[in-house]
A and B are shown apart, each in its own frame.
Chain A
Amino acid sequence: MKKLLTSMSLTGLLIMAIGFTSCKGKLKDADIKTAIEAALKADPMAAGTMVEVKDGVATLTGECKDEMCKNLCAEIAGKVKGVKSVVNNCSVAPPPAAPVINPEDDVLTKALTDALKDHAGMGFAVKEGKIVLTGEIAKAKWAMLKQTLDKLKSKGYDLTGLTIK
């Protein structure tokens, strides 16, 4: 019995010793990864960034909304214990497209006058930034006219009174 206990405790010691040596050497990549992920998640700006760890080198991927956010992610990851270096492969999202600038009604009316000069029989008006067209027009001419009118960047069209022949 005593012998058995001794051998058990020895085995236990041995297991512990193995455990300790592996801990002492370096942190496992998977553990580092988990730690980085937790750290990134804690910051709302950095959440959504993905990380892979190999031999202590953390590689960040994903999309950041700006350069500041990208740098922040690298900073967070770099502070995690066991990280030797950080490769920052995060991309920065393109800035959101600028809003469409719609022209004033009188500017639009003048441009419409120009565009519709050669289309006798068509009526037009501008109503709250929208182009209102009435009358009849041949398909081929309308296809050409619409291309020209789309350059005016109106707030859309009211074409309920327009007939395409």
Chain B
Amino acid sequence: MALQDKYQELITAATASAVNNLQVREQDGVLYIDGEAPDGKTKDMLWAVYDKLDPNFLSGDLVMNINVAVSAPVTRAKVTTERSNLNIRKGPGTDQPIVGKAAHHEVVTVVSQSSDLWWLIRTADGEEGYAYAQYLTPES
């Protein structure tokens, strides 16, 4: 329960901002907070509260998996890498062969979001495969 006290402000903020399916569980000394934020702003706010309570997230005692709710399935996404191209792979994993590349800031079609980490995408050139979701920003 001590961890819930430490992160009480975060739990309260999540409850107050209408995070859906909010689940707070403590297991083996780690607090897990899962849920679906109504928008990206709420998610960012919660990460800011987390950063405040545990500067730089360095304690390692909280695993916060907050996704942003999607009202409609994402069909288009922008490649938001720092500056490089985004690898498109045959399967979901960096051990999978590269089958193509999506340019920095190129808008691609999202075919499937079967996993949180890897999305199946298709480029305008027709290249299709898996790309790391962290570098894809949904376009409305």
Contacts and interface: CB of A to CB of B under 8 A. Distances in A.
B94 A156 contact: no
A99 interface: yes
Contacts, number: 67
A158 B95 contact: no
B57 A146 contact: yes
A158 B65 contact: no
Interface string B54-67: 00111111011100
Interface string B11-37: 000000000000111011110100000
B85 to A, nearest CB: 12
B63 A150 contact: yes
Contact of A147 (B27, B47, B93): B47
A115 B23 CA distance: 25
Contact of B32 (A142, A153, A162, A164): A153
Contacts of A147: 47, 64, 134
A111 interface: yes
A94 B94 CA distance: 40
B58 A153 contact: no
A145 B32 CA distance: 17
Interface residues of B, number: 27
B25 A158 contact: no
Contact of A148 (B56, B58, B117): B117
Contact of A155 (B30, B59, B95): B30
B51 interface: yes
Given A100-B27, A114-B117, A151-B116, A144 B63 contact: no
A144 B12 CA distance: 23
B119 interface: no
Contacts of B116: 151
Contact of A153 (B57, B63, B95, B134): B63
Contact of B56 (A110, A142, A154): A142
A26 to B, nearest CB: 46
Interface of B: 23-25, 27-30, 32, 47, 51, 56-61, 63-65, 93-95, 116-118, 132, 134
Ordered nearest first, which 4 A-B pairs have the shortest CB separation? Answer: A157-B60, A156-B30, A164-B56, A114-B94
Interface of A: 97, 99-100, 110-111, 113-115, 117, 130-131, 139, 142-144, 146-148, 150-151, 153-159, 162, 164
23 contacts: A97-B23, A100-B30, A110-B93, A111-B117, A113-B94, A114-B117, A114-B118, A114-B132, A115-B134, A130-B60, A131-B60, A143-B51, A147-B134, A148-B134, A151-B116, A153-B32, A155-B27, A155-B30, A157-B60, A159-B59, A159-B60, A162-B58, A164-B58
